Amino acid sequence: MKKNDLVKVQIEDMGVGGEGIGKVDGFTLFIKDAVIGDMVEARIMKVKKNYGYARLIKVCRPSQHRMEPVCPYARKCGGCQLQELSYEKQLEFKENKVRGNLLHIGGVPDELLSRAMEPIAGMKYGFRYRNKAQFPVGVDKEGKLMTGFYAGRTHSIISNTDCAVGVPVNKEIRECILDFMEEYGIRAYNEEQHNGLVRHILTRCGFRTKEIMVCLVINGETLPYSEVLAERLSQIRGMTSITVSVNKEKTNVIMGPQIRPVWGQTYITDFIGDVKYQISPLSFYQVNPVQTEQLYGVALEYAGLTGQETVWDLYCGIGTISLFLARRAKWVYGVEIVPQAIHDARENARINGIKNAEFYTGRAEDVLPEYYRRYEKEHPGEKAYADVIVVDPPRKGCDETLLRTMADMRPERIVYVSCDSATMARDVKYLREEGYEVERVRAVDMFPQTVSVETVVMLSHKKPDSVINVKVEFGEGEGKVPLDNIAKRAAAYKPKERVTYKMIKEYIEAKYGFKVHTAYIAEVKRELGLPMYDASNAEEELKQLRKHPTAEKAEAIKDALKHFEVI
């Protein structure tokens, strides 16, 4: 099998990125835009040792699960990966993805998973659900202004003002802004030259309130003729907030730290259940309001609150889950690193009349351990109280320090809400080793037409079924246990020294005479399904750069892992 070969492939499975997977003479190929059940013709583009990547040329025999995409730009756009797959099969794919990660990465036994996993919560209609969108602004080859989404893995804009998963009013908003920019000669931002003014258009829409927010991200201090644009946009029914976000940095980060009002309020309001929230341009707020109620409902059910519990909600954002929990808990502590989010959380508690919720600004991996250390010092012998811990971390999952503290605090239940089931499964494995077990699991399809899926896992602290009192006498003589034997057994069961990336790098340099990058070690560990707690930065780097080690360095890394008995 070599590059540029034209092959026919039967698609038998799908990868985590939604790509079709098939084999030709035992050689595995990953083919984007092919769906399970297709017979396709593809051209091989890249060949690895045991697998390769191919580009879809044509579908020779379509799968019974293949659908005509609703959006004509589905293949080009990087937003939707599964529009050509029936929704029923999308849900099956996502459920299997969660199950596979818990099984293979989390080490959860298959029999236990069969009992714990509940049916995925899907939608009746998987389009027009996104209440938030961020659209880059640019120019096409003819110099005409355009906006849309980036093509997959690029910063090339696919011009499209009507996204099929976004709310319909986005089309009217974006066309109004493009017409305004054209009429007043306002230039789009150019990434390469770092000039031009308008970088992105952000929109948010309240599901229950129908309030609309527009925020223009600009490479400058002010937006010329902003009063004219405000007058035009304000004619759109539901328009409540028009702002600008100042971002003059040469960066891929979309929003700037400064939000300046142009017209109306600097926020909109919406409801999840009967809880009201104020949402600013910088707020984290789930993009699918219908499924958010399902997601938080599952989290609340798994928390098992009776009104007497103390709950910690880590990575709480603007208090969306915290305030849901506070209605059923004795007290809720929320932790979030973004100061504006904590300000919004406190304001949201106030407008809902919720007085049993307290919020802290800081990294969860700093705040909770510090609270635990201080409590242990001030109250020796007492438990640093938490009946339930709810954690909803970013895609990279939890820091090991945080997991360690959670386990030490010994809450009755840990409810883990995740947008990445692979890192969630890694953290579940850690918690299982610390005395917790998976009791319930449910996936919630927050993002139809994409490969992303939210998951809620409930872990309970394992307790002994019974207690047996055993009397042991130490010393020499019949019926006594020699102290030397205890020392020997203790040495035998002594935990192994933690193997760090630094140790691996030093071993390789000493033995092979060359250095390896931390990201290369992380890549090899990820391929082997090993956790990467001490190199989350390397994992993030890999997601961006995707640099693979040479075969020689990969073998050296594997040798080091064997030397330190990691594998």
The residues that are catalytic are 419
- In the sheet that 239-246 helps form, which strands lie side by side, from edge to edge? 157-159, 145-150, 132-139, 198-205, 212-218, 239-246, 258-264
CA 212 vs CA 222, 256, 270, 444: distances in Å? 22, 20, 10, 26
Phi/psi for 556 (5° steps) reads -65, -40
Which residues 6+ apart lie within 8 Å of 501 measured at CB? Answer: 518, 521, 522, 534, 535, 538
CA 267 vs CA 263, 341, 489: distances in Å? 11, 12, 63
Angle at 132 between CA 298 and CA 197, to 5 degrees: 150
d(CA 187, CA 175) in angstroms, rounded, equals: 15
d(CA 307, CA 316) in angstroms, rounded, equals: 20
CA 508, 400, 319, 454 dihedral sign is positive
Angle at 27 between CA 423 and CA 151, to 5 degrees: 55
Tokens standing for residue 170: 């986005």
Contacts 24+ apart (CB under 8 A), 345-348: 345/316, 345/317, 345/318, 345/319, 346/319, 347/278, 348/275, 348/276, 348/277, 348/278, 348/318, 348/319, 348/323
Tokens standing for residue 471: 């009397």
Tokens standing for residue 158: 């696919």
Tokens standing for residue 226: 């902003």
Element spanning 471, H or E:
none
DSSP H helix total and E strand total for the chain: 15, 22
CA 185 vs CA 181, 188, 248, 308: distances in Å? 6, 10, 20, 61
CB atoms within 10 A of CB 173: 22
Which residues 6+ apart lie within 8 Å of 196 measured at CB? Answer: 187, 188, 189, 190, 219
Pairing state between β 310-314 and 331-336:
parallel
Angle at 305 between CA 302 and CA 306, to 5 degrees: 145
Angle at 354 between CA 350 and CA 355, to 5 degrees: 95
How far is C-alpha 254 from the geometric centre of its chain's CA atoms?
17
CA 63 vs CA 58, 85, 255, 481: distances in Å? 13, 9, 41, 69
Tokens standing for residue 499: 């193997």
CA 525 vs CA 373, 549, 555, 557: distances in Å? 32, 12, 12, 9
